[in-house]
Amino acid sequence: MPLTRRIAVRHFILSAAIVTIAGRPALPVEPGVDIAAPKVAISVANGTTLRFVPANPVVEQFDYVRWNTTSGVHTTTSGMIVGSTCTPDGLWNSNLNTTVPTFTRAFDDPPASYRYFCTPHCALGMNGTVTVTTPIDMRLNESGADVRLDWTGGGGLFRVFRSTSPLFTSATTTVLSGAGTQAFTFLDPTGGTPPVGAANFYLVMNHF
C-alpha cells in the first residue's frame, strides 16, 4: 500500500548481528549486492602476481570470507607460516582453479588472527591473514536532522554506510566514511530527513 505521509519511525539499524528480512533467508552475500548481513569479504588469488588481493581481510565473528581465483592453480589453506615453510592446521583447505574457482568459509571461530597460504606458492609469499573481530554492536540517536551512530566491537577501523534500502544495493547506498575511521561514533548531519515515506538504513563494517 502506498504511503501518504512521513513514517513515524524513520531509521533502522543494521549492526553486525545477523539480520533476517521477512520472506528472505539470511544467506552469505556481498554488501552492495544483496542483504547486508551476514557479510562477505572477498579476496582474489591473483595468478599473475601470485598474491591474495586483499591478503588480510577483517571480518566480524559469524561473517564470511570468499576466495576467488583469476588464473592459475592455487589453494587457500589455513596454517602456520614460518619463513618460507607453511604447515596446514586443518581449519580449512580448498583448491582454487578453473574447476573450483570459488571457496567461501563462515568464520564462526573465536576472535583471533588466522593465517593462510597457497600451497603451491607458499615459498613465494602467497599468504595472508584473516582477522576475526567481535561483532559490531551499533546504536542510533536522532536529534532533528542529525543522526549519531555509536558502536562497540570490531577491529578498531571502520566504514560507515547509509542506504534507502535494507538490501544496500549500489544504487541506494552512500558511503559516509569510506577511508576508514578509528572513532566509535559517527554523526550524519542529514540522516534525519529522509524523503517522505522512506527510511534510512545504516551499516558499520570493519575497514581493511
Grid look-up 548481528 returns 17
Flag whether 1 is in a domain.
Answer: no
Domain boundary among 106, 133, 160: 133
Asked whether residue 127 falls in the same domain as residue 199, the answer is no
Distances (CA, A) of 77 to 61, 63, 130, 195: 19, 18, 12, 48
**Per residue of the chain (208 residues), what is the pLDDT tens digit?**
322 222 223 333 443 322 322 333 344 455 544 445 678 899 999 999 999 999 999 999 999 999 999 899 999 999 999 988 999 999 999 999 999 999 999 999 999 999 999 999 999 999 999 999 999 999 999 888 899 999 999 999 999 989 888 878 788 888 898 778 899 999 999 887 787 888 888 989 999 8
Tell which phi-psi region holds residue 8, choosing left (phi > 0), alpha (psi between -120 and 50) or beta.
alpha
Grid look-up 579476496 returns 43
Range of the domain at 71: 40-133
Neighbour-count burial for 21-50, b at 16+ CB within 10 Å, e otherwise: eeeeeeebbebbeebbbbbbbbbbbbbeee
Sheet with strand 146-152: strands edge to edge: 137-143, 146-152, 185-188
What is the pLDDT at residue 60? Answer: 95
Cβ 174 vs Cβ 162: under 8 Å: yes
Asked whether residue 125 falls in the same domain as residue 159, the answer is no
Indicate the pTM of the whole model.
Answer: 0.81
Q: Give the total number of structural domains in the chain.
A: 2
Q: Where is 133: in which H helix or E strand?
A: strand 127-133
Coil/strand/helix, residue 37:
coil
Asked whether residue 105 falls in the same domain as residue 187, the answer is no
Flag whether 78 is in a domain.
Answer: yes
Domain boundary among 133, 154, 173: 133
Counting Cα atoms < 13 Å in the Cβ hemisphere of 131 gives 13
Asked whether residue 128 falls in the same domain as residue 199, the answer is no
Coil/strand/helix, residue 170:
helix
